Every structure is written in C-alpha cells, then in structure tokens.
Structure 1
Amino acid sequence: MTAAPLASDAAGGPGPTLLGQLLRFGVVGLFSAAVDLTVYTLALHLGAWTPAARTLSFVCGTSTAYVLNRRWAFRVEGSRRRALGFVVLYGTTFFVILGVNAAALALLPDGSWRVTLAWALSQGFGTVVNFVLLRTVVFRA
C-alpha cells in the first residue's frame, strides 16, 4: 500500500526532493531533539533513574518526530504499515541510543556537561541511521 505525497517541492515534482527532505528532516530533528532534551533534563532534575529519563524523553521526542516527519518532511499520508515501520525502526534505534548514552556516561569524565554530551552523542548517532531508514523504508512514496 503506497500513499501519494501530500504536496511537492517548489520544483514541482511529485514529492519532496532529497535536499528538501533532508532540510525538513533537519528542522524536525532539531525541534524533536529540543523536546527530547527538555524532557530528559526535567526528568533527571525531578530525580528519575537515568535509563527511565532517557526512555521517557525518547518517547516524547520520537512521537513529535513521527508526526512532523510524516506530514512535513516526507509529506506522505499515514498508514498502519508506515506507523508500524516507524515503531519498529525507532524501537530498534532506541536500544542502540540507550546503549550509546550509557557507554558515553561511563566513558566521559565527570563534569557538568557530561550528561548533555552523552545525550547529544546518542542522539546524533540515532539521527543519521533514522534519516536513511525513514527515507528508504518507512516514508518512501
């Protein structure tokens, strides 16, 4: 089941171009990352266990990313198959990101920036993988 794109780029093609998708994905990513980091920091500040805080922040950031990427970055209609593909991709990525975050926390020296840097490293790693798989598998028109 393939859905038609919701809109096209200024070039007038049938869907967003690679550059258009990449730029929109970047904007969505920055916004979703801000949601993620805010929830993570707040949860830690409130005394949450680090893996629980990272889990909660990931779910909030990922939910934001799904909605905005589907509607704006990749401009495709929603479907159960796409939603399931997104859940499987991000569910797998979550465990990788959680591992990268834990490894970074274990390896980085103590400092006030340590938690934020560990989060950023895990987020950056997941972002690259997710763009490629979202574009080629989940949101391909």
Structure 2
Amino acid sequence: MTTAPDSQESATQHALHKQIVLFVLIGGLCGVIDFGLTLGLGKGLGVGEFYAKAVGFVVGTATAYWLNRRHTFQAAPSHRRLAAVWALYLVTFIVQEGIFLGVLHAWPGNTLHWLVAYVLAQGTATVINFVVQRVVIFTMI
C-alpha cells in the first residue's frame, strides 16, 4: 500500500502552504509598517531616501522576524538562528535598497513612484527571505 507516502506528501504540502500564507500575511503587515515609516520619514519629514528606507526596513524586518519565528516557522528562540537571519537581512537590505533607490532615481516623481519602487524592492526581498529562511535557517540551524 502506498497511502503513507501520499499522506506524508500531502501533509508536507499543507505545511508549506500554511507557511507561505502566514509569511505573506505577516510580510504584508510588516510591509505596511516599513512603507509607512519610509514614506512618513522621507516625504513627510524630509529625511533622505536612503535613511528613510533604512529605518522602515529595520523596524519592519525586526517585527517580521519575531512574528515569523513564532508563528510561521514555530521555532524556539536561538542566538545562532537570530544571527543567521540578520546576516540574511543584511544581504536583502543591500538588494532592496539598490532596487528602491535605482527605481526612484530612474523614475523620480510622486508618492506613486515611491510605492512602485517599494513594491519591486520588497517583493524581491520577500522571495529571497522566505526561501532562505524555510530551506536553511529554520530547517538546518
């Protein structure tokens, strides 16, 4: 009988689906925090684009790590895991800052341009973060 492997595969697919949904929902919430701070600091208070995005990224990312560790990946606190996640976040910070600033400078303009730049940058970082966290950080570390 081959019901056990099919059942195990189905459970694995269900777990993956649940993780993706939670990761996206948490990411959406933290994206609102990140973009709100980025836009509020940059457009509202006149803070430079790089610094506004950096503050938004740090606050949004710290919140995302805490929520994803607890709810998406259901992992116990770990200094090794925290260090690995922050190393990953440093890489994705560089990637998304480059995309964000590149789009803003190639296509300067109003708040809509900031939103487009943010979505492109954050979308790229989200995919990188989910794959590395799921495959490496919360599985192997």
Pairwise TM-score range, normalised by the shorter structure:
0.7 to 0.9
Q: Structure 1 residues 107, 87: CA separation in 2 closer, same or farther (over 3 Å shift)?
A: same
Higher relative CO (Cα under 8 Å, sequence separation at least 6) belongs to 1
1:33 to 12, 31, 34: 31
Aligned to 1:20: 18
Distance 1:111 1:26 in 2: 27
Aligned to 1:50: 49
TM-score of the two chains, using structure 2 as the length reference: 0.85
Two-structure CA RMSD over aligned residues (Å):
1.6
Deviations 1:54-101 (A, max 9, x none): 000000100110000000011111101110010000011101100000
Aligned to 1:98: 97
Distance 1:41 1:111 in 2: 11
Asked which structure has the greater CA Rg, the reply is 2
Distance 1:26 1:111 in 2: 27
Distance 1:135 1:123 in 2: 18
Which amino acid letter does the alignment assign opposite residue 35 of structure 2?
L
Aligned to 2:107: 108
TM-score of the two chains, using structure 1 as the length reference: 0.85
Q: Does 1:65 align with 2:47?
A: no
For residue 113 of structure 1, give the secondary structure of its aligned residue in structure 2: helix
Distance 1:82 1:123 in 2: 22
For residue 70 of structure 2, give the secondary structure of its aligned residue in structure 1: helix
| Identity across the alignment (%) | 34
Shift of residue 139 of structure 1?
Answer: 1.3
The size of the alignment, in residue pairs, is 128
Gaps of 5+ in 2: 1-10
